Structure formats: structure tokens, C-alpha cells
Amino acid sequence: MTYQRDNIAAMQGYSWGEQPDDSETLKLNTNENPHPPSPRVAEALANIDANALRTYPQPTADPLRDQLAELHRVDRSNIVMTHGGDEGLRLAFSTFVEPGTPFGMAQPSYSLYPVLADVHGSPTLGIAMDDDWQLPRNFATQLNEAGANLACIVNPHAPSGTLLDSERLSRIANEFNGVLLVDEAYVDFVDPALQHDLTRLISVFDNLLILRTFSKGYSLAGLRLGYLLGDARLIEPMLTKTRDSYNIDLISQHLGAAAIEDRAHAQASWEAVRLARRTLREGLAALGFEVWPSQTNFLLAKAPMTLSHGAADIYARLKARGILVRYFNTPQLDDKLRITVGTETQNAVLLEALAEILDGQP
């Protein structure tokens, strides 16, 4: 006997990256920032009065929303705080997608998207990207013809690291009849010389949502804190109707505020990741990997064509050495590895292990 809804019984759940039980494993598989959060975060945590946990937190995290509104030069009404970026995705589904109507996404992409669609009882329209990880010109047309209410684009793209410019995304938002959610989980690692900033577009398009997270750029993946930016008419129903009550706890509100106050610390970590990303890419290329340009804190690397055991075997051999990277046994990705950019020392350990594996050592 099962009491599950039929669509829940039929679906597959989300497969998260491996989480080792020991501190010795080199973890380059889940795209965490390798640098610690700001010391102000630790100070804020130490100064939280345990008695304050007796009462409920500020319901909509307004002080933190005000900080972010000032940072992004928008109004508080343009922001809703979420329990990690993933709650932001759930809110978009529950608020804007009629159950049973299609959900659109680039293919491949963040593997949680189709899981959320399955939970919602909506079919997923996966629109294939080309070999250079670009969207087809008729992306919005395909969404409209399918009757999609919501589409998600990770930008910079995961797992390739490719960045779509604001002009391309503006064209999609303009052409699409539904809500376009641009998932900017990795945007903090974009080269600042590109001057990439989509936040100005929320005053132009009333169907654009931008997802941000503290997990990557602020080194707070364990905290689960994120937010959505958009036209106030998109934000309001999520804030007042579909959002969980008191969804951001007191500790998260205080630590998020401390992280924003010391944004310079986070920015230094972003620059360190960008420098390490370049060195790691050069090292992988020297070993014979094809590595795509990335604007994230990870690299997508295709295994050398001359290697008989391929990406899956390299992944397994690295794991046996206590080094975790991400392998996806799916079309377009089954000959590639996604590798989180670590510290210079961690990257050197990885490159040495790869050199030995490619040289035929166990």
C-alpha cells in the first residue's frame, strides 16, 4: 500500500553530490567556495543571544531585504528572501506554474529543475543547447508553443560555466509569454571586466526573476540563504501567499547581514577563485583535457580522446585516491567531469593525481 500521489511514486528524486564523512577527502564536486566566510559572520554567530531564539524571527527578513535593496539599487518590494536558492525555485513553481502545464529549461542544466517539475505534476520541456553551450535562437518560441508558464536558465550556465550576456537574456524575456527565472547562483565569480549585471532589467521586464544565493559567493552553503529579485508584482504573491511562514530563521538573518556588511571579504575570495580557475584550466589543458571557458567556480573538462578508460574511470580513480569531482552519466556530459575550483594547493593535488592516472598509475 502506498499513499503517495501517482506522480511522486513515478518520479526520481534529486541526486546531490557525494558528501564525505571524513575531513581528509578533497571535495571538488559540489561547487562550494574554498575560502572561509567573513570573520564578521563568525563574530555575529558568537554574539547571538540564545534567549532570542525563544521568539519568532522578523517574518519577512526586512532588515536584510533593505541591505540587499541598497546593494542592488532596487526597492525592498523587489526582493523576497528564501531558504537557499532552492526554495526560490519552489516558490516560482508554486506561484506561477499551473499544475500539468509544461515547465521549460535548457538541457543540460541544474538537475533539481525537472525534479521540482515532477513534484508539481508538470512535464519538463528540455531544450537542447548546442556544442558551444548556447541556446537556440528560437528558445522562447519553443517555450511559447509548448504553453510553458515558467522557464529557468542558469547563468552562468551549469555545468559548462558559459555566460549569456544581458542582450540575449533580454531578448528571451521579451519574447517569452511566461516567467523567466535566471538562476545566478554563480554570478559572483564572473569576471568584473565584463560588467555583467541583470538587476537593472527587473524594471524593464515584468516577467523576469533573478535568483541569488549566499551559498557560493559568500561561503555560506551550510546556512541555506538566498533571495529572488523581480518586479514587485512578481515578488508580492511569493512574499505574502506561497512563501513558508518565518522561512528565514533569526540566525540566518543575522549572519546574512554580517556577510553583506563585509562584502569586501567575499569579493577577495571571488578574485582568488578567478585566479585559481585560470591556473587550473591551464593545468588541465596541459594534461590533454578540453576545458570550456568558465565564469563560475568550476570547470567542465572533457577527458583526453586517447584515454581508454574515459571520464567515468577517471572519476572512480580519483575517488579511490580521496578526491571527489562530479561525473554525470547523461547525454552531452558522460565524457566530461565537472571540477570545482579549489585553493591553489587543492588544485595542485588534483592535477598531480590526474597526471599519475593518465600515466597509467592506479
Domain containing 308 — which CATH number? Answer: 3.90.1150.10
* pLDDT range class, residue 307, cuts 50, 70, 90: low
Handedness of CA 241, 201, 82, 70 (dihedral sign): negative
Q: Does residue 3 sit within a domain?
A: no
Shared-domain flag, residues 223 and 270: no
Shared-domain flag, residues 245 and 268: no
Nearest to 338 by CA among 298, 288, 309: 298
Q: How far apart are CA 244 and CA 246, in angstroms?
A: 6
pLDDT greater at residue 359 or residue 215? 215
- Check whether 308 has a pLDDT greater than 80: no
Mean per-residue pLDDT over the chain, rounded: 96
Average pLDDT over residues 26-40: 97
**Model pLDDT, residue 95:** 98
In degrees and rounded to multiples of 5, residue 313 shows phi and psi of -70, -40
Shared-domain flag, residues 153 and 269: no
Shared-domain flag, residues 153 and 213: yes
Q: Interhelix angle for 139-146 vs 166-175, to 10°?
A: 30
* pLDDT range class, residue 309, cuts 50, 70, 90: confident
Handedness of CA 199, 16, 328, 289 (dihedral sign): positive
Shared-domain flag, residues 61 and 189: yes
* Inter-residue contact 175 to 141 (CB < 8 Å): yes
pTM beyond 0.85: the answer is yes
The C-alpha cell at 272 is 582568488
Q: Please say which residue of 204, 232, 261 terminates a domain.
A: 261
* pLDDT range class, residue 194, cuts 50, 70, 90: very high
Shared-domain flag, residues 45 and 25: no
126 in helix, strand or coil? strand
- What is the domain-level CATH number for residue 234? 3.40.640.10
Nearest to 218 by CA among 257, 160, 274: 257
- Say how many domains are in the chain: 2
- Residue-number span of the structural domain to which 300 is assigned: 18-36+264-358
The C-alpha cell at 124 is 519538463
Residue 359, judged by CB atoms within 10 A of its CB (0-12, 13-18, 19+), counts as exposed
- Check whether 275 has a pLDDT greater than 80: yes
Q: Please say which residue of 207, 227, 261 terminates a domain.
A: 261
Shared-domain flag, residues 253 and 299: no
Q: In what helix (H) or strand (E) does residue 49 lie, and over which residues does it extend?
A: none
Q: How far apart are CA 180 and CA 231, in angstroms?
A: 12
What does each C-alpha distance from 179 to 28, 156, 182, 213, 217 come to in angstroms?
33, 19, 10, 19, 25
pLDDT tens-place string over residues 121-138: 999 999 999 999 999 999
Which range among 229-238, 309-318, 347-356 shows the weakest confidence by mean pLDDT?
Answer: 309-318
Q: How far apart are CA 160 and CA 300, in angstroms?
A: 5
Shared-domain flag, residues 244 and 321: no
* pLDDT range class, residue 362, cuts 50, 70, 90: confident
Average pLDDT over residues 310-323: 95
Average pLDDT over residues 187-206: 97
Nearest to 330 by CA among 51, 12, 3: 12
Nearest to 105 by CA among 138, 147, 143: 143
* pLDDT range class, residue 21, cuts 50, 70, 90: confident
Q: Interhelix angle for 310-320 vs 344-358, to 10°?
A: 120
